[in-house]
A and B are shown apart, each in its own frame.
Chain A
Amino acid sequence: MLKRAKHLWHILRQLTGDDAYDVYLKHHEAFHESNIDAPPALSRKEFFKLWQDGKWKGIKRCC
């Protein structure tokens, strides 16, 4: 039961983009740990700015 609720919560967070920063951090670690010169990860606020602005560049809603 608790496991199910957790799973649903996880899906809800993914759906809304609530976990976008966590996903980004994971990606950053996985792809950049091998590279010493990689720039440090963005802060939550910086990342959210980029993410939100990027999200609205194309057609995102129709009729």
Chain B
Amino acid sequence: MHKNFKIIIWLAVLILGVSAVSAIALNRGESISAMWFITAALCIYAIAYRFYAAWIAASVLVVDETRATPAERLENGSDFIPTNKWVVFGHHFAAIAGPGPLIGPTLAAQFGYLPGTLWILIGAVLGGAVQDMVTLFFSTRRNARSLGQMARDEIGPIGGVAALIGTFLIMIILIAVLGLVVVNAMKYSPWATSTVAATIPIAMIVGFYMRNFRPGRVLEATALGVALLLLAVVGGGWIDQSESLRGLFNHDGLPLAYAIIAYGFAAAVMPVWLLLAPRDYLSTFVKLGTVILLAVAIVILQPDIHMPAMTQFIDGTGPIFGGKLFPFVFITVACGAISGFHALISSGTTPKLLANERDIRMIGYGAMLLESFVAIMAMIAATVLEPGIFFAINSPAGVVGKDAIDAVAKINSWGFAVTVEQMNQLAKDMGESSLFARTGGAPSLAVGMASIFGSAFGKGMLAIWYHFAIMFEAIFILTTLDAGTRVGRFMLQDMLGNIWPKIGRTSWMPSVIFTSALVVAAWGYFLYIGVIDPNGGVNLLWPLFGIANQMLAAIALCVATGILVKSGKSRYAWITGLPLVWLVIVTSAAAWQKIFSDDIRIGFFAAANDLAAKLAAGALPPDKAAVAPQLIFNQQLDAYLTMFFVAVLWVVIIDMLYVAYRRYAGKPVLPLSEVAHEPSRLVENWVRD
């Protein structure tokens, strides 16, 4: 193509992108078309990918396409396999994209659409995608070593231990909060509960099919499973209609939480082929299919966003979670902009498949852009709802009151119109008994998706679309829950194995049961507290998860910055250094407020003291007084946990700065652990394309 022509095209993309962002940012009207969001996102991604990511790959990392990757050098036919780049992209994206980018933006919509959207776009192109790409590159140059191993090799043993403990704790909090989201979606909903329950036997059928009936025929088995899942969504509706059957699946939060805990334990000790692996296939297919369907529906329908650009809740008084715009929008959006967890996939897992370093930009940077796009769609699905309805679904009963009339009056007093009749009609359309105080983000996302799908593909099936969306969220939340419990178990076995070697044997059944029970008990505790908390629990757990996840991202960026400095590329160290500084500010500020704020809706200690004072004065109703001691203990525990997270983060930072200082002062540092250059023999492109 002619050079000038290219310049004109990129200028057009730039102008279109700037117009779209301005349209979003400056709109003060009643509503704005969702197409502006899609346009802004695509233009920003295109420019960032073409220029920033390409520059990092070529000038900072200096990817070398003639160099053999670990997949080629260590090929063994099972886990190290040079693989087609689109296939690696698919694996990588499926691994990094979980429920986080759906839930985070939905909750962050309490500030209005603008703050969350801007952070999803800016955070991804300057932070999240850079982190994923450089981690992938450094791990590829180090025989696909994991983040923890790289931290130990490059920075020192403290960094390695910090990464390990950080990963373990974030896993526990993550599983608890995800479990809570599923419980809140199933509460008193026989349709949702029976559909989610049906996914378990369906996964087992698929697992048996792949393992024994037609070994290795993954595609056949998955097709069968997806058909059964769709049947389960429709079948849930029949169960809901049947007076005798619906009682079996109509439960309060606590029994559902116990069921999830029991299920989590069973899934962790059962062989993977029976439940985890087959469910993962189903969830990946359903996830990719639904995301594509949602994108198509948004483009066809071009729905209007009804949420204001910014709500009054930027002052910290929001009903969904307490805290001001800064720093809590960054903590809440979490995975859609930058996620420390991705560094665990980018190191260790994906490099084992990478056929050529040239593909690092597309896989590392590109997959994160796609995840950011998923977050934008979740933001659209949350904000197409009338704000009154959005707050009625997402505000916990502890804030707006248990009674529908009270809740509506409270929400109206904030200036958002909604009526009891409107909510009842909506619940009826969606096939639910009530949609008030369905916290956690999943129900409101499902209502938003159902209204988008319903308008784009026919209004008649709203209830089916709603429960399809719930099934879609639940199935991969449960996959994360299974997989996370299992990984937590392996990590715990590994750690305890240093003390008592026998417990480190992953196949020794007493150890499997003991460590699985410990992991399940840890997240089960937070899940239990979340369920009995009258404020819904999400307001406590999600910020804790956000802080932990951003802390892990900061650790990954620390490792990357340290390696850049050590390789003599200090002048480029800002590409990871700037997002690192920002994350340190955000996580430290959020943690400070969560620990020391006097506001009982933000500060853990303030809330604990307030509750203790009320309990002592006898000012609590009997049902609240009964659970108050547990809630007080939990608030204090959360505060200490937050302190621990921040301490771990600062230890790693100081460790990294010390290494950088020694490098500058000309003192010896740990040598770079990069593997020596070996020419690639995969000269043809057959593997890659």
Complex partner residue of A18 from B178, B219, B280, CB under 8 angstroms: B219
Q: Considering the chains assembled together, what is the distance between the CA atoms of A27 and B99 in angstroms?
A: 36
The residues in B between 239 and 290 inclusive whose CB is less than 8 angstroms from any CB of A are 271-273, 276-277, 280-281
Complex partner residue of A11 from B86, B98, B345, CB under 8 angstroms: B86
Interface secondary structure of B, over-half rule = helix
Whether B174 and A15, one on each chain, are in contact in the complex, defined by CB atoms closer than 8 angstroms, is no
Report the minimal beta-carbon distance from A23 to chain B, rounded to whole angstroms.
6
Question: For A21, what are the chain B residues with a Cβ–Cβ distance below 8 Å?
Answer: 216
Report the minimal beta-carbon distance from B84 to chain A, rounded to whole angstroms.
6
Q: Considering the chains assembled together, what is the distance between the CA atoms of A63 and B98 in angstroms?
A: 4
Q: Considering the chains assembled together, what is the distance between the CA atoms of A60 and B345 in angstroms?
A: 7
Interface secondary structure of A, over-half rule = helix
Question: For B77, what are the chain A residues with a Cβ–Cβ distance below 8 Å?
Answer: 23-24, 27-28, 31
Question: For A17, what are the chain B residues with a Cβ–Cβ distance below 8 Å?
Answer: 218
Report the minimal beta-carbon distance from B70 to chain A, rounded to whole angstroms.
15
- Is A3's CB within 8 Å of the partner chain B? no
Report the minimal beta-carbon distance from B205 to chain A, rounded to whole angstroms.
16
Question: For B442, what are the chain A residues with a Cβ–Cβ distance below 8 Å?
Answer: none
Q: Considering the chains assembled together, what is the distance between the CA atoms of A60 and B276 in angstroms?
A: 11
Question: For A23, what are the chain B residues with a Cβ–Cβ distance below 8 Å?
Answer: 77, 81
- Is A59's CB within 8 Å of the partner chain B? yes
Count residues of chain A with CB under 8 A from any CB of chain B: 34
Whether B84 and A61, one on each chain, are in contact in the complex, defined by CB atoms closer than 8 angstroms, is no
- Is B75's CB within 8 Å of the partner chain A? yes
- Is B555's CB within 8 Å of the partner chain A? no
Whether B78 and A63, one on each chain, are in contact in the complex, defined by CB atoms closer than 8 angstroms, is no
Question: For A51, what are the chain B residues with a Cβ–Cβ distance below 8 Å?
Answer: 78, 216
Q: Considering the chains assembled together, what is the distance between the CA atoms of A49 and B222 in angstroms?
A: 17
Q: Considering the chains assembled together, what is the distance between the CA atoms of A11 and B578 in angstroms?
A: 38
Count chain B CB atoms within 10 A of each CB in A13, A16, A23, A63 and give the residue with the most.
A63
Chain A, residues 1-45, CB within 8 Å of chain B (1/0): the string is: 000000000011111111011011001100100000000000011
Question: For A27, what are the chain B residues with a Cβ–Cβ distance below 8 Å?
Answer: 75-77, 81
Complex partner residue of B273 from A12, A16, A53, A61, CB under 8 angstroms: A53
Whether B480 and A63, one on each chain, are in contact in the complex, defined by CB atoms closer than 8 angstroms, is yes
Report the minimal beta-carbon distance from A61 to chain B, rounded to whole angstroms.
4
Q: Considering the chains assembled together, what is the distance between the CA atoms of A11 and B91 in angstroms?
A: 12
Q: List 12 A-B contacts (CB under 8 A).
A: A18-B216, A27-B76, A31-B77, A48-B216, A51-B78, A52-B272, A54-B78, A58-B348, A60-B95, A62-B95, A62-B335, A63-B549
Residues of B within 8 A of A (CB): 75-79, 81, 83-84, 86-87, 90-91, 95-96, 98-100, 146, 167, 174, 178, 210-212, 215-219, 222, 271-273, 276-277, 280-281, 334-335, 339, 341-342, 344-345, 348-349, 479-480, 483-484, 486-487, 490, 545, 549
Residues of A within 8 A of B (CB): 11-18, 20-21, 23-24, 27-28, 31, 44-45, 47-63
